Chain A
Amino acid sequence: MNTAARTDVRSRFTLSRDVMQAFYRLLGVVLLCAILATLSDVFLTTNNILNVLRQSALLFLMASGLTLVILTAGLDLSIGANVALSACLAASVIKITGSPLLGMATGIGCGAVIGLANGILVTALRIPSFIATYGMMWMLTGVTYYYMAGETIHGFPPEFRQLGSGYLLGVPMPVYVMVLFLLIGGLFAQRTVWGQQIYAIGANPVTARLSGVPVERRLVLVYAVSGAMAGLASLIILARINSAQGDIGEDLTLPAIAAVLVGGTSLFGGSGTVAGTLIGALILTLVLNGMNLLQINSSWQPLVTGVIVLLAVWIDTRARRIGE
């Protein structure tokens, strides 16, 4: 009974810490907005705000699946290349069959199959996740460039384009998709047994296994979900820019990783939330959008994203050391 009481206290304590962390991050969002509104006249226009929301929706979709992977102390470096191949295949299918539904199934299916392959490499072949998904990234890039052969596929049916550039009640469609997956992802991670098992694997895989968690199967699931989310994101990009090219997702992996880490998910696994990743995606988008508005050369973007990743992990490392 004593133990039960103690666990209770601790869980309340961690909850309040989570809430405080989310509060600080939201404060960061508000601060960023205030700074950008002062520096740029364009920032507070309806158009730009909708644009920021649309961009962060895209980043969130990729980052939400990645959050689950990082919760298990893994990493998926292949999501950008996954987006590229999924988008190109989906574009081909839409062009050939004329059916957006088939195209969407292809995009998500392709993403999920790639994720499944990652999961098998990590579990059955026991390759460390960062190196397995890094190898996967180069394989996918190679396959995509070969498949596209420098061509561009463009011009999709208007009903498909609604998914990326349409509005409902004045709000861009991707934002609805974002909210939907925020709910699904949040409920899955916090309120289901499988979600809790994912946290357990990240916190301590050995304990998780001894407690009867089917570690391998959950890991495969997590990588497959990450891949499927990349496939979904590829559809939104496709619908938004109305064309597919081999290099479509190349610059998205690092920002997605940054969004997850800035959102408070620990690279070492076991702690973090999908909602936090949403805030992370918002912060990242605001930074990149702000740089655009202030007409800072886009070459600064990989540099700034790299610095943000390093800062986020450093803070995480320090917090863990203090926690111990």
Chain B
Amino acid sequence: MSTRGFSLAALPVARVPGVAIVLVVLCAGFGVTSPGFATPANIANILTQSTILLLLALPMTVIIMTEGLDLSIGAVLTFASIVLAVTVIATGSPTLAFLAALGVGLCFGLGNGVLIAVFDIPPFITTLGTLGIAQGLSLLVTDGQSVVGIPRSIEQIYSGTAAGIPFPIIIAALAYFITHALLYHTRFGTYVFALGGNREALRVAGISVRGMLIRVYVFGGLMAGFAALLMTARLNSAHPTAGIGMEFDAIAAVAVGGTSFERGNGWLLGTLLGVIAVGVLRNGLNLLAVPSSVQVACIGALVIVALFIDGMRAER
């Protein structure tokens, strides 16, 4: 809006997506500093470990595009994972357990959506409240303890392969293509872009803005249910603090990926690259034996830098 002289967007370097630069810099940096980084095994490791984050970051992109936010997604993931573990131990049926996890995701997504769309409560405070609820439920069900004794059939969902490709990668790839199709090839996707950019136009066109918003948050809840399956399989247990902070990694991936927080501009491929960038950062810092507390601080700094650049680009 303002017309100041300096324009970041006019610089040639600004044409290259920021996330690509971040990824190249991170890879080059870690490639030089730690010998174990650029090995095929480690790269496969990074990709497999990034799958859970991708399942959260995909709906987070869609949600942020509607000028929303979901702070509860990590806590919902945790609670869904606990419900999954408890159900599979009680009934012995992985299918039933998976459906229960999806049910948890659906309930929280629906709750978030209704509170935001029908009751008009701002997204960040709605999902902060439901974060507290999901966290409280997780503690109540488990009494603060880990849930262990999960059958091998669940564990294999994370460790198994098909045609040499790990299952998590296949699931994540499917999730990516489905989200991509939803966003770019359906009416739903068009409306999502309009929700962030021009809500009034949707209203004038007679589209139910409330219904669309609810669907967007339900999508987030369901994806958290899917992610719960992968996380439980990966940890071979469920723990009431396992997913705390995952929402922050997801927000970081979306922000680094170039999706704007204020104008409904989203870029799904950017989110994919952002997820990999966060995965590379965590993995590289791990290899350098940097404590996880410092890793969290680094991701916090990454988000702020990404938002700063986004703000600079938007303004001019």
Residues on A lying within 8 angstroms of B by beta carbon are 75, 77, 121, 125-128, 130-132, 134-139, 141-146, 149, 254, 257, 267, 297, 299-307, 309-310, 313-314, 317, 321
Contacts and interface: CB of A to CB of B under 8 A. Distances in A.
Contacts of A143: 293-294, 297
Nearest to A144: B293
A303 B133 CA distance: 4
Interface stretch (B120-128, B146-154, B190-198): B120-128
A126 B129 CA distance: 25
A130 B69 contact: yes
Nearest to B136: A303
A66 B35 CA distance: 47
Contact of B300 (A142, A301, A307, A317): A142
Interface string B103-136: 0000000000001000111101110111111011
Given A126-B311, A309-B125, A299 B69 contact: no
Contacts of B308: 125, 127
B144 to A, nearest CB: 7
Nearest to A321: B120
Interface of B: 69, 71, 115, 119-122, 124-126, 128-133, 135-137, 139-140, 143-144, 245, 248, 251, 261-262, 291, 293-301, 303-304, 307-308, 311, 315
The 8 closest A-B pairs by CB, nearest first: A306-B132, A303-B136, A142-B297, A139-B300, A299-B139, A145-B293, A142-B296, A310-B129
Contact of A309 (B129, B299, B311): B129
Contacts of B139: 299, 302
B133 A126 contact: no
Nearest to B140: A299
A300 B140 contact: yes
- Residue of A134, A135, A142 most packed against chain B (CB within 10 A): A135
A303 B300 CA distance: 26
B293 A309 contact: no
A135 B300 CA distance: 5
A102 B293 CA distance: 27
B71 A304 contact: no
B299 A138 contact: yes
Nearest to B121: A313
Nearest to B247: A134
Contact of B304 (A135, A141, A321): A135
B301 A139 contact: yes
Contacts of A136: 300, 304
Contacts of A321: 120
A131 B69 contact: yes
Contacts of B300: 135-139, 142
Contacts of A300: 136, 140
Contact of B307 (A127, A138, A142): A127
A138 B245 contact: yes
Nearest to A261: B125
Contact of B131 (A75, A125, A139, A306): A306
B304 A121 contact: yes
Given A142-B293, A145-B293, A313 B125 contact: yes
A254 B293 contact: no
Contacts of A135: 248, 300-301, 303-304, 307
Interface of A is mostly: helix
A132 B301 CA distance: 10
A321 B308 CA distance: 34
A124 to B, nearest CB: 9
A143 B294 CA distance: 6
Given A127-B307, A142-B294, A297-B140, A317 B120 contact: yes
Contacts of A142: 293-298, 300
Contacts of A145: 291, 293, 296
Nearest to A121: B304
B136 A304 contact: yes
A306 B300 CA distance: 24
B140 A303 contact: yes
Nearest to B64: A131
Nearest to A301: B136
A267 B136 contact: no
A267 B122 contact: yes
B144 A299 contact: yes
A223 B137 CA distance: 32
A129 B139 CA distance: 29
Given A131-B124, A306-B131, A310-B125, 19 more contacts: A125-B304, A127-B311, A131-B69, A131-B307, A134-B71, A139-B300, A141-B293, A141-B297, A146-B294, A149-B291, A297-B140, A303-B135, A303-B140, A305-B132, A309-B129, A310-B126, A313-B125, A313-B129, A314-B121
Contacts of A254: 128, 132
B302 to A, nearest CB: 9
A134 B250 CA distance: 13
Contacts of B297: 138-139, 141-143, 146
Nearest to B255: A131
B132 A302 contact: yes
B71 A313 contact: no
Nearest to A317: B120
B234 to A, nearest CB: 22
24 contacts: A125-B311, A127-B308, A130-B124, A132-B304, A134-B248, A135-B301, A136-B304, A139-B296, A139-B300, A142-B295, A143-B294, A145-B296, A302-B133, A302-B135, A303-B132, A303-B136, A303-B137, A303-B140, A304-B136, A306-B130, A307-B129, A307-B133, A314-B119, A317-B121
A154 to B, nearest CB: 21
